[in-house]
Amino acid sequence: MNRIAPSADPKDTTVAMRGMVKRFPGIVANDHVDFTLRRGEVHALIGENGAGKTTLMNMLAGVQRPEEGEIFVHDKSVQIRSPRDADQCGIAMVHQELMLAEALTVAENVALGLRNLKWQIHWSSIERSIEEQSRVLGFDIDPRAYVWQLSIGQRQRVELLRALMRGARILLLDEPTAVLSPHEIHQFLASLRRLTAQGMSIALVSHKLEEIVQIADRFTVLRKGRGVVSGVPTASTSQTELASWMVGQKIDKPCHDVRSPASDVEVLDVHDVHACGDKGFEALCHVSFKVFAGEILGVAGVSGNGQRELADVLSGMRPITSGRITLCGNDVTHATPARFLRAGLAYIPENRRTQGAVTSLSLAENLALKTYRQPPIAKRWGLSRKEMRSFARRLVDTFHVQAVSLQQPAGHLSGGNLQRLILARELSRPISLLLAAQPTRGLDIAATRNIHDLFMAQRKAGVATLLISEDLDELSSLCDRLIVLFRGRIVARFDRASFHRDAIGRAMAGIETSA
């Protein structure tokens, strides 16, 4: 990737944050953190889950107000009290949890962020400029599409478009590539370069060390709310060094290559399944595969090629139009989620906060969701609070969920802890199939590894696993076999022996069809 050198002159500092302090009940999220951003640079902000990166960005975006510290934009001390103030400073943030109105179209969402809208809105001109901007950046976005119809990757591009069309000069990106496929990441990073070349300053929160080394000019590392290093040039740093900065210990890549062969007990049989997506078009087409006990089958593919629909179908949340699904000998073709559950399905959904947990209910109640019908928690008509608590206590301890109390709402947990909570719940009963969609998205190295270890333990215990992921490293280190989805069809199948990054990548891009 050709780089245009960013300004190395400290005088070109666009944003300077000094001594930022932000506390939340029970935790100091930012403890005197410094951060600077120069014109035309990409400054990576890295650290584990809960290190305070998002909080720091939120203070700059006016979402949260600092308790102490000063912010300078173009050498002028500013008070950013609201997103509107941030907007006036030319700061725009793309949040990890996307902030789009799903019931509106792309153009309408973009218009929501525009200043100087006339009394009468000229939709066609807004749509035209979205198309134009989207072409310049290499995005493929239909301005007339409704946001709920778009994949997460596409929604994120809409967020980016919205920030740019509002005239932002300082972009804050909270884990933008977490939702993108390798191919999309490449495009995305290239578009970031195009933006910095125009003098844009970009702060990038990320977990992916590879892309930080590739794209960032400088980086700042946060650990437990404190700045470990601030504004170090990336050029002189390797990926391993970055990783050790981040976790504060030497890390080694997990190696799961010593494998026992999978058994020949068929757990899941998906036969010639067709299903429609939200737009009513066919999202899955002739999908057939089997998963055996004690193996991990990976589903690779670029976001929006039928993965979400596949997960829905296999959890009973989306009807299929034709085909047959068998789980442990039970015909579950048109089954409700309840029947999938009884047949032994454990499901780690893609969206932890909307599909995985009831954020307003307590940890204990969330942990009991899959077991409250059976004793000892179930008591005739009733529920035993005591049993529920001790059950939750056991799971929280076994799975190392870091929680203040079992009564705290699940929504207060950080992403990694919430995911451990969901896994704990799903693995808290005997299961035969583990269905996981993007299980480590947005998690730090330690949490990711923790979850990978759990998957391998399940594999050893004879559980069949279907792992839907866009992270090729994850897939290749965990899976026994791999299928690639492209436009709702399986376009390639790989055995562990034949995993080849390029071949898989080509299949994901729809270039090779060797199914």
Give all strands (DSSP E) within 150-295, no chain letters: 170-174, 201-205, 218-223, 226-233, 266-276, 282-292
The yes or no reply on residue 54 touching another protein (CB under 8 A) is no
Residue 217 per-residue DSSP state: S
Q: Rank residues 149 and 476 by Cβ distance to another protein and give the closer one.
A: 149
Tokens of 453: 């270890």
The yes or no reply on residue 342 touching another protein (CB under 8 A) is yes
Nearest distance in Å: CB 377, another protein: 9
Nearest distance in Å: CB 286, another protein: 27
Q: Rank residues 67 and 272 by Cβ distance to another protein and give the closer one.
A: 67
Nearest distance in Å: CB 262, another protein: 27
Taking CB under 8 A as the binding criterion, the range among 36-44, 146-154, 319-327, 355-363 that sits at the site for another protein is: 355-363
Site track 375-394 with another protein (rule: CB under 8 A), x = hit: ---x--xxx-x---------
Nearest distance in Å: CB 25, another protein: 5
SS (H, E, C) 328-346: CCEECCCCCHHHHHHCCEE
By the 10 Å C-beta count (0-12 exposed, 13-18 middle, 19+ buried), 399 is classed as buried
The yes or no reply on residue 34 touching another protein (CB under 8 A) is no
> Which of 131, 372, 476, 512 is in the footprint of another protein by CB under 8 A?
372
C-alpha 373/C-alpha 192 separation (Å) is 51
> Which of 337, 375, 394, 511 is in the footprint of another protein by CB under 8 A?
337
Residue 122 to residues 87, 125, 143, 514, Cα–Cα distance (Å) = 23, 6, 13, 47
Residue 331 to residues 231, 271, 502, Cα–Cα distance (Å) = 58, 11, 37
The yes or no reply on residue 344 touching another protein (CB under 8 A) is no
The yes or no reply on residue 309 touching another protein (CB under 8 A) is no
The yes or no reply on residue 336 touching another protein (CB under 8 A) is yes
Taking CB under 8 A as the binding criterion, the range among 248-256, 372-380, 449-457, 467-475 that sits at the site for another protein is: 372-380
Q: Rank residues 342 and 449 by Cβ distance to another protein and give the closer one.
A: 342
Tokens of 49: 């889950």
The yes or no reply on residue 449 touching another protein (CB under 8 A) is no
> Which of 28, 165, 251, 317 is in the footprint of another protein by CB under 8 A?
317
Buried b (16+ CB within 10 A) or exposed e, 471-503: bbebbbbbbbbbbbbbebbbbbebeeeebeeeb
Nearest to 94 by CA among 6, 38, 166: 166
State which amino acid sits at residue 249. Answer: Q
Backbone angles phi, psi at 286, to 5 degrees: 50, 45
What DSSP element (H or E) covers 28? strand 27-38
The yes or no reply on residue 369 touching another protein (CB under 8 A) is yes
Nearest distance in Å: CB 13, another protein: 18
Q: Rank residues 68 and 272 by Cβ distance to another protein and give the closer one.
A: 68
Give all strands (DSSP E) within 209-292, no chain letters: 218-223, 226-233, 266-276, 282-292
Q: Which residues bind to another protein, rule: CB under 8 A?
A: 18-19, 25, 65, 67-70, 315, 317, 336-338, 341-342, 347, 349, 354-361, 365, 368-370, 372-373, 378, 381-383, 385, 408-409, 412
